[in-house]
Amino acid sequence: MSDSFRRAAGRKVISRASARVLGAVHDLLVDAEQERIAAVIIGRGRKAQLVDWAQLSGFGPDAVMVSDEGALRPPSDDRERAAADGKLGLVGKRTLTERGNEVGTLEDITFDPETGVVEMLRIGDREIPAGSLLGSGPYAVVIDAGQEPPP
Amino acid sequence: MSALGWLILVLAVLAIVAVTFVVVRRRRRGGGVIATEGKP
Amino acid sequence: MKLLVTASQIRGLPVVTIRGGEDVAEVRDVIYSPEAGRLVGMTLNKRGFFSGRRREVLPADAVHAIGRHAVMIVDDSSLTARDDAPDDVGRPATGRNVIGNDVLTEGGRSLGVVRDLALLVGSTGEVVGYQIEKPTGGQGYIPLPAQVAVSGAALVVPDVTEEFVRDDLVGLGAAVDDFRARLGLA
């Protein structure tokens, strides 16, 4: 069963070792090259923490389980800090093709909760494969040109 | 000054501020379409 | 059928990096070579309501694509220091604005006055025509290669151009190939 970024937003993050609630999912950091979720961002702003996907014991429909609290870490570079501040959120971003034309707003992203591999991007009412994603950032999501509807 | 007088003064100031914004912005943003010098 | 956009529609568009998804600048001047029939580059402004110029410029060969909503570059290394860019881009000539030039046929008829350039969407700046203000006051479009000669005041075009004046960008897009065939070009 696929999970999605919209559904995962706000989901509780719980330590498997202590059963304590560590926070809630604020955003998911994507590695565009590998087309997978690199880390989960818990909370936002100065108090935000990241957990690398490999440190999760499970990404479930009701809670995200972290192996233990030690896996939480502060943002380590500018990109992670921007993500923690909410600037790199993909959902809701305008989507441009590499040819410079807007194709809509990125409404949601589906992924495999077992592996973190990103599956589909939903733009407006269309679904396109995650392989089309070329990059993303504070201004826009960029996809390859094959996805432009004919003029 | 009457209330009407104040109102006119405020509107005039706002108008001047708005025009200044537009003029300053246009000067800073500038830009045009420029042709290069012809070279054979 | 060609999808076209005017140079003034390009001015003010964000310059966006593909991998970084970041609007690193926006287009200020559009600099074009009438001889080559294409853009040679753009000067840039910083993003922000009151921001002024950016130091760097964007030569046409560093552009990935010009679209209707953004100019796409691979990453911000595409932006070039003024001194490293070709002179035409780093130090654009002032007083060489083709906007306002009179368009004269070789036979001496005025087709109007240049108001804008028509560019091919998705290219790196190919100019396919001009937007003109006709002597009667209406708007028209003429295809390139249009000029035989260009100066700071006038453009001289082949007589046959008069048959290819169109009313809108869509009409121009449809006419370009026919016009080029008439002139014996590919």
Assess contact for C84 and C74: CB atoms under 8 A. no
Q: Are A96 and C3 in contact (CB < 8 Å)?
A: no
A30 close contact with C: CB closer than 8 A: no
Residue C7, H or E segment: helix C7-10
CATH number of C102-182: 2.30.30
Q: In this complex, which chains have at least 3 CB pairs below 8 Å with chain A?
A: C
Say how many C-beta atoms besides its own lie within 10 A of residue B7's C-beta: 11
Distance of CA A150 to the CA centre of its chain: 29
| Span C119-172, pLDDT tens digits | 988 888 888 899 999 999 899 999 987 566 777 788 888 888 999 999 999 999
- List all residues 6 or more positions away from A85 whose beta carbon is below 8 Å from its beta carbon: A44, A45, A48
Let me know if the fold of C4-90 is the same as that of C102-182: yes
Secondary structure E strands in A53-101: 56-59, 63-66, 94-97
Q: Which of A84, A116, A138 is the last residue of a domain?
A: A84
Q: Chain A, 74-133: which have a CB under 8 Å from a chain C CB?
A: 93, 96-102
| Span C38-95, pLDDT tens digits | 899 999 999 987 788 899 999 999 999 999 999 999 998 999 888 888 777 777 776 6
In this structure, the answer to whether residues A75 and A38 fall within a common structural domain is yes
Q: Give the domain CATH number at A61.
A: 2.30.30.240
Residue count of chain A: 151
Helix (H, G, I), strand (E, B) or coil at C12: coil
CA gap A3, A86 in Å, rounded: 21
Identity of the residue in C21, C22, C72 whose CB atom sits nearest the CB atom of A100: C72
A43 belongs to a structural domain: yes
Q: Is ipTM over 0.95? A: no
Residue C44, H or E segment: strand C38-45
CA gap C170, C166 in Å, rounded: 9
Q: According to the model, what pLDDT value does residue C137 have?
A: 87
CATH number of C4-90: 2.30.30.240
